[in-house]
Structure 1
């Protein structure tokens, strides 16, 4: 078990029970702290302060802002363990592996990447003494609404490029994981003037007010497709520019003759990272007849061996589901799969002895399209494995979803590479799934959103293009 030492960072952001709202430990349900309950008036003040601070922040120039982002990364690294423990308690992911320490490390990496990515004016046209260039100017004030599954890292994906480009930011974390984001912002704010970065915690009313606020010039949102539609409606009032990274029901296709031993562990990792609570995790797996039984058995063995436990337990590989709502969704989808004749290879039930929201890692075989578990995003530790006999049919089924964030193809690299061009998805991975690179653009198509994050494309997304002709 982890050593439960005093967490000075948690103490810095929490308030008394009389002043705030209780935030439960995801594993135990016990209160880990009280978060400030900000109001619409607090939001108004934050947006006003952001507008006041923005011109001077932009005037610092790219080099100085990049220097500050590096100092922010240093600060995050200096307080990495305190921040990781907050994330593990509040969100539930384990400290080790691809868990909360990995998430904190990712925050530092993405801060440094945003600082170091070059973005020079682009030459558009030059002839007969005339030259046209594309420049990238700050948008102004960015509203950043982040989710509960990777609370700190996704907040950084929004905050870091926005600050680098000379914008100020008002950030609103999920009401389920506000402490993780407020703790992160507490560290970042130590290096910027007042008003440049403000965290506002609260319920959906605060998020809706931020999305519709006339003082917001750009809105970045990661979350459900349903909420994304509401944000699009709200943006009609202020014509804020949008980057939306919404839900995904990522398919994987395992080709005929694939070496199961070579890919099983990577497929398992692509499914169960963060207990399956990842937008771009692998959520439905189409496997050719020739390797179906072998792969189902291999995945079942890996699921049986995975250590489920509290995030602060150093031995845990998978944690609890973060919210009661998500636990209920996962449970309902598995029960529906059972009712349709799906075969539970392993798991298929809760683990109440561990805590209120623990669900055993589950592999469901002999299931098909049309089952809720296949057609809907489960966002939890459950994988439906669907048999196919014709590759063309598998591609068609993979493309049938309205959501298209990520996808993967497993097997012969050359054949997979050709098929990747035919998959309707923002990203297609070959013999891997969910691997992200701060220099490689990421975003969805169809109802998984629009706009790109990361690298130079991510910087441009939080800038206003300006053509200068001379």
Structure 2
């Protein structure tokens, strides 16, 4: 595969011009599939970030006055454009992230679903809501959803299209402007999405793009934004939260996960094994909701283990841009080293490699086999630390109580999966400390259901994306009350003493009325 044959230089030039940059400096990106250079990406300065926010603030005031119907239509046009340009988007995702074509399509589908969802739900989500007033009949209260202003989005490399765009769509829909910093390893696909957004009718100044290292450009965004949306590691997310807190600016963070899957007695073992393959090895395990811990009941352990290993061994890996491989590459040498370190350390502490366990430089610089471990002890780094790669560990359990305790172990709480009888799985789900729980599915059921909120508990994050919650995080609730006839403090011709007695009688009467 030649990058130039997939992404012409003229196309790269048209995309990189979307970045606000006056430095004259660039950073060269490579494709994980072959290690070949992809593009020289312009770098932004702090002054460029400042200009982006100044421009976005002016544009946001106009955009907030744009009719809701017009904003909805822009999102619907984006939905259509994304689907019309699927092939190019898939090529860009694969070249920049190294994932297989099937896993790249998950991003295209998710972005289209998100655009359509907020387009169709926007009017209902942002219209003023009526609330009860202090004096029934005399006080009327409505709550407006006022846009925050300019939202700063710092997006990751592992889902470089949908995480760059989908978090910003509800912000736009609510009347905000956006300043986006895509990850330095995968900016072109984010820029292609922004280009489609502009073609859909969103004014250019409403969505600004800057580029550069997080320590410089990311910090500059946090210092200027009215709201911060960050997706990445827990360590970096903690730093983002501290920086935002110093300005009393709100934020949402989707961070790391060490996600468990429980296989109950009575589960369809073959279905559970197939679900575990998808849950653990989609995008080579490089997603925050990926399954890394498998807890299997004693009664079905051997049967599940054999079925799972057999399916993992059948996974095809390679650098193809066609749909003939099941799993692609890791993003970088650093990721390869992390997976290698976790596997070697687990084996040194008594674990057994059931399948995989090797880097595959013969396929490309950053390929690693899908790997299954058994007998991982608490002494191993991968027992509690997130690997973020194609590595999953198998564990036995005896009782459901034990399985729940094991699943809740550690500090994370992003995603969980339960395979087994639905009624029993539903009873267990509320006991799992995770923001999403999938029954008879790894992660796609909740991730793809864009009407449902998604996010983490504990060290896995703060706030929620998707659903009504995913839009309201970008608004300030503003209560507006209209008082009629008499003031709340009582009319001037009634003494304070008499008014307090009358109010006491009224409050007692209201106590006896049925709840609304």
TM-score range, shorter chain: over 0.9
Deviation at 1:412, TM superposition (A): 1.6
What does residue 189 of structure 1 align with?
198
Deviation at 1:311, TM superposition (A): 4.9
Distance 1:78 1:35 in 2: 26
What does residue 212 of structure 2 align with?
202
Equivalent runs, 1:208-219 vs 2, <5 Å: 208-213=218-223, 215-219=224-228
Tell me if structure 1 keeps the 8 A contact 2:356–2:370. Answer: yes
What does residue 384 of structure 1 align with?
393
Distance 1:257 1:2 in 2: 49
Deviation at 1:211, TM superposition (A): 4.2
3-state DSSP class of the match of 2:257? coil
Equivalent runs, 1:62-461 vs 2, <5 Å: 62-95=68-101, 97=102, 99-117=103-121, 118-119=124-125, 120-126=127-133, 127-190=136-199, 191-213=201-223, 215-435=224-444, 436=447, 437-461=449-473
What does residue 12 of structure 2 align with?
10
Tell me if structure 1 keeps the 8 A contact 2:154–2:218. Answer: no
460-469 or 186-195: which moved more? 186-195
Distance 1:5 1:242 in 2: 37
Aligned residues: 465
Deviation at 1:152, TM superposition (A): 0.7
Divergent runs of 4+, >3 A: 1-11
Gaps of 5+ in 2: 18-23, 483-516
Largest Rg, 1 or 2: 2
3-state DSSP class of the match of 2:363? coil
100-109 or 204-213: which moved more? 204-213
Distance 2:45 2:390 in 1: 35
What does residue 513 of structure 2 align with?
none
180-189 or 449-458: which moved more? 180-189
Gaps of 5+ in 1: none
Deviation at 1:116, TM superposition (A): 1.3
Deviation at 1:325, TM superposition (A): 1.4
Q: Deviations over 1:208-255 (max 9, x none)?
A: 323432x31010001100001100111133222101111111111111
Deviation at 1:416, TM superposition (A): 1.2
3-state DSSP class of the match of 1:195? helix
3-state DSSP class of the match of 1:380? coil
Aligned residues: CA RMSD: 1.8
Tell me if structure 1 keeps the 8 A contact 2:49–2:217. Answer: no
Q: Deviations over 1:162-214 (max 9, x none)?
A: 1000000000011111122122112212322232001111112334323432x
Q: TM-score, normalised by structure 2?
A: 0.87
Deviation at 1:28, TM superposition (A): 0.8
Q: Deviations over 1:392-437 (max 9, x none)?
A: 1221111122110111111121111111111111111111121221
What does residue 34 of structure 1 align with?
40
Distance 2:11 2:283 in 1: 23
Distance 1:9 1:273 in 2: 29
Cα distance change of structure 1 residues 233 and 347 upon mapping to structure 2, 3 Å threshold: same
Q: TM-score, normalised by structure 1?
A: 0.95
Tell me if structure 1 keeps the 8 A contact 2:165–2:194. Answer: no
Tell me if structure 2 keeps the 8 A contact 1:176–1:323. Answer: no
